[in-house]
Structure 1
Amino acid sequence: MPTAVLDISADLAECESCSTQTPPDEIIHTADADQLCSSCAVELDLCQSCDRPARDVEQTVDDEDRCAECRSEFSQCDDCSRYSTEITAIISGGDVCPDCAAEYSHCFDCNSAAADLVSINFDHSVCSDCRDDYCRCHECQMLFRGCEYYCEDCSRPDSSRVHDSDYKPHPDFHGCGPLFLGLELEVRTTYTGHDTAVETANTRLESLGYLKDDASISCGFELVTHPMSFDYAMSRFPWSLLSQLRLLGCRTDEEVGLHIHLSRDGFDSPAHIYRWLKLIYRNEAAVTALARRRYTEWAQFDPDIRAMAKKLANGDHGWGRYHAVNARPTDTFELRVFASSLNRRQVQAALAFAHASVEYTRGLRARDVARFGGWDWSTFAAWVSTRPEYAPLTAELSALADTGAFIDTEEAYPCAS
């Protein structure tokens, strides 16, 4: 009878590194989920956290060797290459551990650790981010916070003047009323081109307007005109200035606005003001499409303000100024809906809309509203199209219509009473 042969290999495990057959109880499980014999395992480093050998072991800032799994909550310091749970971002540098972060100096302005500090007038040092908040005075060559020609200690020529935000000169009316329009155009400039843009704007505006600081513009200005009749604005405002500013690197976006003040004396009566407010608030979608910005916090179509139309028409000034129509000023209404622009047609269209909306509602009567859709945007647009003086507005409406800007506006914003 044949003798039975015992298959010992069936009870052995294979080392995943050298393929040696090893008894299962002698197999070592690594932190990398490998199964190794003792000879292969001893060649690996030992993780001091889980006490298992591992192929990928790195040192922490506490001088502890950890495997990849045990340092999963750690980040590597860009300076010393050790791992830490606390990492500090260095301005103009990398992400470093606390020990390495202590080797860096801090910015005088923002108190952040920074790799490359810049000296400000040999007085204090700031990081590269904060350095952008400074410019050099053209008179004394000292650095100062701001974006102008001259520091406060040096004289500045009138041609480069940017007034404080609260500057409000006595209005100088241009043209014939009764309705006067005041334009406020917020403009962003480049850091290097700011001075030239300011000088150019002041030179071209002459006595028609002035420039002001605006807290919402990090580097730039607000161009403000004195009150103008619509005809005067269209024929006498230096429209080529807008192109000049563009060539100087100036720009606008949805975060800067174009505001138009309309003189209260330009309205016939409280009823006229009421009709004008209703035209604007009932056509939110179309007005914001024309204005080239929607849902902005700076010109809200607040339903509570809309419900106050009669009170506003009769002298109530409402609350706050960040509404589509700001009723806070004593002598004007401020139409705030438009995004700023350096495009001539867009700015002219904004002025034309302000004027046309007042003149259209001046003659609007109850029967026009009830029988002919007098408050409907399409009726207003048709009225505008028959009047040559509003050609920029007609052209802008036509261009927007071609892009589908007015499609489904009534469905998006149903006109409640």
Structure 2
Amino acid sequence: MPASTLADPLCEDCSHPTPTSELVSTVEGEPLCGDCAEDVPRCDQCANYSRERALTVDETYLCGECVLDWSRCTDCDHYTRHVTAVVGGGEVCGGCGENYTSCSDCGYLAADTSEVCGGSQVCASCADEDYHECAACYTLVLREDTYCQACAPERSWHSKVHSWDHKPSPRFHGQGPLYLGLELEIKTPSGVFNDAVDTALDHLGDLGYLKEDSSISPCGFELVTHPMSYAYAREEFPWQLLNRLRLLGAYTDEHVGIHVHLSRAGFDSPAHIYRWLKFVYRNETAVTTLARRSSPEWAKFSAEARSRLWEYAHGTQDYAARYEAVNVRPEHTFELRVFASSLHPQQVQAALAFAAASVEYTRHLSAAEIARRRGWEWTAFTTWVRSRPHYSPLLAEMEALACAS
């Protein structure tokens, strides 16, 4: 059939035949004649005709194509290039975000916040994870605290025991790259508190300091060291101090623990961090046996943490819980929280040795070793430890607790 006899296409709206050269196409692909096109609005960005347009926070209207890279505010329904997540809500634009309060702990906007001791506001997630009610009133306090500031009983006092938030500039001891920071929670009868403090400070020198910790009830302190290499800790920490404190009457129980901070700079890569975290979490039974406690309240091995180890290894700490077996919140360290406190040198040495040994064991752990030699398993780790005498306190404690195989 000759081309001249072909019928002109029809306008989508009025159905009138219109020469192809005069047709206008909408963003949605509809062919319109010029008159009908005038009734269709244009996109404010690309200027193309579009029946469906989205209103933005800038009070412009965009077609479906131009709005693809934009997000929709769950509060005002307008589109925006930038949204902020809300704990307990959706994602909001900058304007709607001003209607929310930032959580003082995680920094995220929150739909609902609660006031905690000291006046700060925290989101529901942080409140559930990190706080509980004061033992004497309804004020929310950190889980390691028993009382709020108003209800706290009078505590023993010493001018050289710093407040709980004391954080001096670190003094590094020994050769890295891995440095360990020891936090040892110690209880004392009130009558020997001052003597215990003086004894601890005399032995520590510039290696550490003492802090208050309201979780150490009714009386005691937290002994904190500056960062030190494992070799330095083994050889230079004043281990005789622990026996001296025991002779004075200091003690530990199930309510106090040992926390070991491991420097992030001591790991080779995110892959190394992932291998280390995975090793710790895969061996919960053996680790808690070695640690002499299982503590779902203060050092839990949660399924959520296990599922997010890869994210934690790559620096994503959103909503990470503080009271996990490994606390990944600190900026420069990982905090291994699993160990029960002790004033027996071998047990404290074993905590430091496990921190160091587990990092070194996973540093070069290969896929072949994992697949062929069961590298993730505790037995492979204990075999590795046996061949390295500098971890002898760890091996001795493993054998004492029947977890050396």
TM-score, normalising length: structure 2 = 0.61
Deviation beyond 4 Å, 4+ runs, structure 1: none
The correspondence of residues 264-343 of structure 1 with structure 2, limited to 5 A, is 264-318=264-318, 319-343=320-344
CA RMSD of aligned residues (A): 1.6
Residues 244-255 of structure 1: matches in 2 within 5 Å?
244-255=244-255
Report the equivalent of 1:364: 365
Take 1:307 and 1:186, find their aligned partners in 2: how far apart are those partners? 30
- Superposed CA offset, 1:67-89 (max 9, x none): xxxxxxxxxxxxxxxxxxxxxxx
Q: Which runs of 5+ in 1 are unaligned?
A: 1-109, 111-132, 135-144, 150-155, 408-417
Give secondary structure in 2 for the equivalent of 1:244.
helix
Mapping of residues 12-411 of structure 1, within 5 Å? 145-149=154-158, 156=159, 161-218=160-217, 219-318=219-318, 319-401=320-402
SS of the residue 1:211 aligns to? strand
Using structure 1 for the length normalisation, give the TM-score: 0.59
Per-residue CA deviations over 1:188-243 (Å, capped at 9, x if unaligned) read 00110111001110111010000000010120000000000010000000000000
Give CA-to-partner distance per residue, 1:362-408, whole Å, 9 cap, x none: 0101111111000000110110011000000011111111xxx679x
Aligned partners of 1:296, 1:220: CA distance in 2, in Å? 23
Conservation of the 8 A alpha-carbon contact between 1:180 and 1:229: yes
User: Quick one: distance in 2 between partners of 1:398 and 1:264?
Assistant: 30
Q: 1:320: Cα distance to partner? A: 2.5
Instruction: State the Cα deviation string for residues 305-350 of structure 1 (Å, max 9, x = none).
Output: 1110100000012423100000000000000000000000000011
Alignment partner of 2:259: what SS? strand
Q: Are the counterparts in 2 of residues 258 and 339 from structure 1 also a CA contact under 8 Å? A: yes
Check conservation: 1:171, 1:227, Cα contact below 8 A: yes
Distance in 1, Cα, partners of 2:202 & 2:157: 16
Whether contact under 8 Å (1:289, 1:406) holds in the other structure is no
**How far apart are the structure 2 equivalents of 1:307 and 1:191?**
44
Match in the other structure for 1:101: none
Instruction: Give the 3-state SS of the residue equivalent to 2:177 in structure 1.
Output: coil
Percent pairwise identity: 60
Write the letter of the residue equivalent to 1:300.
K
Contact 1:271 1:313 in 2 (8 A): yes
Matched to 2:257, the amino acid is: G
Check whether the contact 2:295–2:338 (CA below 8 A) recurs between aligned residues: no
Runs of 5+ consecutive residues of structure 2 not aligned to the other structure: 1-135, 137-151
Distance 1:399 1:241 in 2: 23
Q: Say whether the 8 Å CA contact 1:259–1:335 is kept in structure 2.
A: yes
CA separation in 2, counterparts of 1:314 and 1:240?
Answer: 40
